[in-house]
Amino acid sequence: MVYPASVTFGLRSARPETLPGLAGLDAIYPALDSLYMDLHRNPELSGHEEKTAAKLAANLRSFGFEVTERVGGYGIVAVLKNGEGPTVLVRTDMDALPIGEQTGLPYASTISTENDADETVPVMHACGHDIHMTSWVGAASLLARAKESWRGTLVFVGQPAEEVLKGAALMIRDGLFTRFPKPDFALGMHCTSFLPSGQISVMAGPAFAASNAVDITFYGRGGHGAAPQFTVDPVVIAARTVVSLQTIVSREVNPFDPAVITVGSFHAGTKRNIIPDRAKIELTVRSFKPEVQKQLLAAIERIARAEASAGGAPCEPTVYVDPLEASDVVCNDPALAARLTPLLQCAFGEANVVSHPPVTGSEDFGAFGCASGAPSIFFALGAIEPGAYAAAMAEGKLMPGPHSPLFAPDRERTIRTGVAAFTLSVLELLGPSASS
């Protein structure tokens, strides 16, 4: 997407504090910048966000929130009540990725740690969760200072384990909507390299795809690689399955229904001259409609079993769909999108509030709206320095984005936009004219 040269980036006002609700943003920004760099330097893997959660909890306690820790793992729930009114949930994710950072930034992560498989891996905030957390803390600070401008209840949720699509479900199972106020609205955001910093997307309808993690283990009869005739080779069966799976989307799914099946991992064998007795492939499956999701999973299992039978496997393969590593479609409520869009256009400038097309990436933020019934909005937050973005677009290229070891958000402009989007949206929903 190319934007005209007249578009300006960032808050439209030269003085952010002149916008209602954002008084004090300049004053708190240095602390937010320090927090961001600390979070970026010290990332933690999914399910291990102990120190990260403690930092966020300490910040919100200092603002006057009542904070509960270790909800669904290292999740935190911070509640601030301010009279009668609706309840707004504002969520951030906290975990990082097993990626070695290559940005060359002075505050780059040099952390390595053991993962759940006891392997030593590098760790990096390569998905912008440090931006999300900093924006979340900034909004909490401004809203706590502006209690005269709103009535209702804030529920600020720090969610663990988003990268493995488990954290939202774990928090809900641990009583997020029974132990704490149930929301009338839910807000979240995610960085993107598809937009320059200072721009934000408020799309209506499906925004992020549903996701399933599927593991398939094929069984054979191992033996010497020099005498394959005495074996049943599961590597060949698995390899044929990888190819056959590609026909599901291309030949079975309606071309107007987006869907993705990717085999991202193939494990088999220990030595070149040994035919193993099993082979395992790991898949990620994406879709936007429940009926398509069901169709994809059924077709995957059908093809796996058929290829195993065709290869003479001694038993059927094991097909496991992880019930926790899954997410629903993130669907933005159209009425809520229509309500918030004019507000953000007023703040950022009309040209800087866009409706970005849905993406097949996945997010478990959708679980909060599904479980609570609350209308929700998940903003896409531009993160690429505008000059670099424009130059890349002119060359038909895309700047490094989430999950890249080179992802380096334009931090100040992106954080300020994130803080403003959260803060102004909450004030719209809880302000004097708001109603649930």
For the purposes of burial, counting CB atoms within 10 Å of the CB of 49, is it exposed (0-12), middle (13-18) or buried (19 or more)? buried
Which two three-digit tokens encode residue 400?
A: 């490094």
Catalytic: which of 44, 49, 95, 328?
A: 95
Say whether 162 is catalytic: yes
Say whether 118 is catalytic: no
Inter-residue contact 216 to 283 (CB < 8 Å): yes
Torsion region of 128: left, alpha or beta (phi above 0 gives left; psi -120 to 50 gives alpha): left
Closest CA to 366 of 381, 355, 377, 379: 377
**Any idea of the CA torsion for 103, 8, 27, 158, to the nearest 10 degrees?**
-60
Closest CA to 191 of 385, 369, 17, 350: 385
Catalytic: which of 49, 162, 325, 428?
A: 162
Let me know how long the chain is: 436
Closest CA to 187 of 142, 149, 157: 157
User: What CA–CA distance (Å, rounded) separates 280 from 10?
Assistant: 47
Which residues are catalytic, by number?
Answer: 95, 162
